[in-house]
Amino acid sequence: MLEKEGGVKVFEGGITSPQGFHAGGIHIGLKKKRLDLGWIYSEIPANSAAVYTVNLFQAAPLLVTKESIGKEGCLQAVLVNSGNANACTGEEGLRDAYEMRDSFAEFLHLPPHRVAVSSTGVIGEPLPMEKIRNGIRQISRIIKEGDATDFEQAILTTDTTRKRFSVEVAIDGKKVVIGGAAKGSGMIHPNMATMLAFLTTDAAVEQQALQLALRQVTDETFNMITVDGDMSTNDMVLIMANGLAANRPLHPEHPEWSLFLAALKEVAKNLAKQIARDGEGATKLIEVHVTGASDEETAKAVGKAIVGSSLVKTAVYGADANWGRIIAAIGYSRSPIDPNLVSIRLGSLTLFQNGKKAVYSEEEATEELKKETVRIEVLLGGGKGEATAWGCDLTYDYVRINASYRT
């Protein structure tokens, strides 16, 4: 177990690490061979919250999940399919999403609004509901017997790896665990993208406070990654808090609220970085840390512009220290910046200082760009705003994968 700052301890785990949560995944034929239907189940009702894509074409499952959480802010189960997004499918798609939710609730003897649904995959194709129905019947018999790694696998599309993370903190003298699983590889440009993240905790958290925490943490983590600048129809980050840790319910006035936020951010940040690192065809993670901005929003805009630049991404792939591409991205971020105060570092190497090219070794710069994680630091001036954004390089394989996504 690794202890981070402020008492947040990282350990090997995931969404079933907190008390009272079960998860699993099965294959029902939505994909040729891989697992494609997953579930999360809490032994007791859990206060829940979610944030969703801002794409105007929100998929049917998002609309149904919004309704479920909006009823009383409480869930007990989540059902997720991959291989089919159930997006842009009209009234039929909405009926299918409701049936998916209601059937799962019926088999678990739950009110329908205690169940959330989510889908990811090809847009515009109707859900093969008979396969979904058969899958729900299978899951209902093994709801507490699944394996979290199967859930992590069942939600993937073009991802190359499963994504999981967990931490532990002490709140009110009680051990509190937060776990998470996510998927995302392409169409990643949050607010949010083809990105699904599911977080669980045994902490007791007031529902409105949970929504506040999730939105704040998402803005600083999942909304600070990009792979390709494309925004999907199905993104969602969802959290369930069942309270089995028996701490006093958390809210912003609780003396350890900041500790809970730090722990939640640690999980979200790690999952976000895993998504960025697993960008379609990617070979490197790009981390851009911006400081000296006039405010946080300026720092975020600059960071996102750099990691989202196709020219920066291809330069990183080719290990070409072309700092002019970084400058260009900063310039079109439309942020209030004095160009004469800008400096850029690549790792520990200064490439650009106070508006002018610095003296540096091209060989050393190339070596920095060959690392698995490429770190770029941007100093904008003397302000206090700062932010970190994550992305990945852009390779030939990205084109190959997306040129034949449906086949």
Alpha carbon 349 to its chain's center: 30
Give the active site residue among 120, 194, 221, 291: 194
| Encoded amino acid at 140, one letter | S
194 as an active site residue: the answer is yes
293 phi and psi angles, rounded to 5 deg: -80, 160
The helix (run of H) or strand (run of E) holding residue 121 is strand 115-122
What would you report as the CA-atom Rg of the chain, rounded to the nearest whole angstrom?
A: 22
Residue appearing with tokens 């200082």: 353
Beta strand pairing call for 236-241 and 196-201: parallel
Q: How far is CA 313 from CA 262, 337, 356, 373, in A?
A: 30, 23, 22, 13
Question: Quick one: which of 41, 42, 136, 43 has its CA closest to 81?
Answer: 136
The beta-strand segments (E) located in 212-348 are: 236-241, 285-293, 343-346
Beta strand pairing call for 196-201 and 174-183: antiparallel
Q: Rounded to an integer, what distance in angstroms lies between the CA atom of residue 53 and that of residue 85?
A: 13
| Encoded amino acid at 57, one letter | F
Question: Quick one: which of 224, 361, 236 has its CA closest to 287?
Answer: 224
Q: Rounded to an integer, what distance in angstroms lies between the CA atom of residue 407 and that of residue 402?
A: 10
79 phi and psi angles, rounded to 5 deg: -120, 130
Beta strand pairing call for 373-379 and 285-293: parallel
- Cβ-contact 141, 100 below 8 angstroms: no
Q: Is 84 helix (H, G, I), strand (E, B) or coil?
A: strand
Active site residues: 194
